[in-house]
Amino acid sequence: MNGTISQVSIKGVYLLEKNNGPVPLVLLEDEAKRIMPIYIGLSEAISINSAINHEIPPRPMTHDLFISLLEQTCSQVDDILIDELKDGVYFARLCISMDGRQFEVDARPSDCIAIALRCRAPIHVRDSIISEVAIDKQEIEGIMSLESYLS
């Protein structure tokens, strides 16, 4: 798939109040200040938030285990790419180097983001996706930070 990609940063992890309860989402922002929401699961939201805050759990969580496995096999995540949106579902890839080889692994964007934050790998998104889904943060009513919700 061709097209321009942009590096994004994480604006934060939030909860959006819906009729059937809070829905977690992570907000990404590119250099042009376009904001892209990705709705995620609660456990991934907590994992991403922990990585943002550099929190180290007493025992490794799943994303920490993955990082340990990479380290033990002398592998590294070069970057992640969120490169497809189909029927409201985002698709992403982990780009990994190991023994002089590079390969890609299909993964959910929320897992990719949690892993990228832990190993300080850049996060990229295809520009066509950002253009399609970009929002103003003010457009999301009832948004609250995950931290305020958990405290």
Asked whether residue 39 carries a pLDDT value surpassing 90, the answer given is yes
Nearest to 113 by CA among 33, 41, 51, 66: 51
CATH class of 5-150: alpha beta
In 3D, which of 6, 20, 19, 16 has the Cα closest to residue 38? 16
- Report the amino acid identity of residue 105: V
Q: Report which of 129, 131, 109, 122 is spatially closest to residue 48, judged by C-alpha positions.
A: 109
Lookup result for tokens 């080889």:
101
57: helix, coil or strand? coil
- Over 60: is that where the pLDDT of 40 sits? yes
What are the domain boundaries of the chain? Answer: 5-150
> In this model, does residue 1 exceed pLDDT 90?
no
pLDDT of residue 98: 94
Q: Which residues contact 68 (CB under 8 A, 6 or more apart)?
A: 60
- 91: which strand partners? 84
- Residue of 57, 24, 51, 33 whose CA lies nearest to 112: 51
CA distance 113 to 132: 20
Task: Give the chain's mean pLDDT.
Answer: 92
Of 93, 68, 91, residue with least CA distance to 78: 93
Instruction: Kindly tell me the burial class for residue 119, based on how many C-beta atoms sit within 10 Å of its own C-beta (0-12, 13-18, 19 or more).
Output: middle
Note the pLDDT tens digit of each residue in 77-126.
999 999 999 999 999 999 999 999 999 999 999 999 999 999 999 999 99
